[in-house]
Structure 1
Amino acid sequence: MGHFKYASDVGAPVEVAFTYTDNHQFVPDWAFGVADFEPVGDLDHGSGAVFTTTLRVGLWHPTVECEITDYRRNAVIEYTLRRRRTGKPAPAGSPLAVLSLRFDPLGYGRAVLTSETEYWAPQGLTGRLLSRMLAAAVQSMVRRTESQLRREIEEFHGTDLVGRIA
């Protein structure tokens, strides 16, 4: 299992940042590698909402299932990616990755966006051989996602503040 965490200063209040991120229609705009993000059923936000997600990974375009597994208004949205089984929801115990977005007030109409990702590499010899390459790819994807989300939130809010905090 791998783990990455980034934090950044966002030029928008927590409520604005969370509202933008909570809208499933905007996910392809900020999530690196996501081509399509459609709700399954009537629930399109909040804990338990499930989405069919089409990824863009080079020439490969897999479809996976994404579920919101932790949801606290104006505080946390956690997405869990799982393999999709045709016609059935994915089993609960087989995540590919978990992306947690935490929003904390910073004052003066600004917020701290913390992106935390855990991912699971393939098992066996293949997983060991690809682990470093996979770690570098996931780290780059998480960094790009966090950076793009910050820019999109600021554009949504109408500000142009760019800042980073460790």
Structure 2
Amino acid sequence: MGVVSHQVKVDAPRERVFEYVDGYQNVPEYLFGVKRFTPTTEQTQGLGSTFEVAIDVGPKTLKSVVKCTQYIPNELIELRAVEGFSANSTWKFADAEDGGTEMTVAFDFKLPGGIAGKLLGGLIGPFADQAVKHSEETIAKKFADHG
């Protein structure tokens, strides 16, 4: 299993940052490689909401279904894979000491065994790190540009 985690400060109130990250329609905008993030339930946010995900990782498109398994408004969003590629994400939000929001993002993923897993591992590790950094930069820039 691989884990990638980063923390970033966003110069915006925690409620606004959470609302943006929580909006499923925004996910392809800030999450690198995500081409589709589509609700599969009427519920489109919060505990129990479920989404189909398609992520382009180099020449390969990985598909997954993720479900929100933990949800605390303005504090925590956890998505767990329930089908397809096993990738989970946890987003934590807290007030920064000097104003703004401290956002912590963690992705963990499980690769298949054998040669396929080794080949995919060569793509996924660097991709996950790049995806987390891209998400942080995109979210921080959005609020720097739009307050």
Residue matched to 2:129: 139
CA distance in 2 between partners of 1:23 and 1:129 (Å): 33
5+ unaligned residues in a row in structure 1: which ranges?
85-94, 160-166
Q: Offset at 1:114?
A: 0.6
Question: How does the TM-score come out when normalised to structure 1?
Answer: 0.77
Q: CA deviation at 1:37?
A: 1.5
Correspondence for 1:116 among 94, 98, 106: 106
Report if the CA contact (8 A) 2:87-2:109 is conserved. yes
CA separation of 1:53 and 1:134: change in aligned 2, threshold 3 A: closer
Residue 127 of structure 1: how far off its partner (Å): 2.6
- The 2-side partners of 1:131 and 1:122 are apart by 9
Distance in 2 separating the partners of 1:78 and 1:152: 22
CA radius of gyration, larger in: 1
Aligned-residue offset at 1:15: 0.8
For structure 2, list consecutive stretches of 5 or more residues without a partner in the other structure. Answer: none
The size of the alignment, in residue pairs, is: 147
Alpha-carbon distance in 1 for matches of 2:13, 2:89 = 21
Which of 70, 77, 89 is the matching residue for 1:99? 89
Closer, same or farther: CA 120–153 of 1 in aligned 2, 3 Å: farther
Aligned twin of 1:39: 39
Q: Which amino acid aligns with 1:150?
A: A
Could you say which structure has the higher strand fraction? 2
CA RMSD of superposed structures (Å)? 2.2
Is the contact between residue 14 and residue 105 of structure 1 (CA under 8 Å) also seen in structure 2? yes
How many angstroms does 1:54 deviate by?
A: 2.4
Q: 1:35 to 1:46 in 2, by over 3 A?
A: same
In the superposition, the TM-score normalised over structure 2's length comes to 0.85
Residues 1:79 and 2:65 aligned together: no
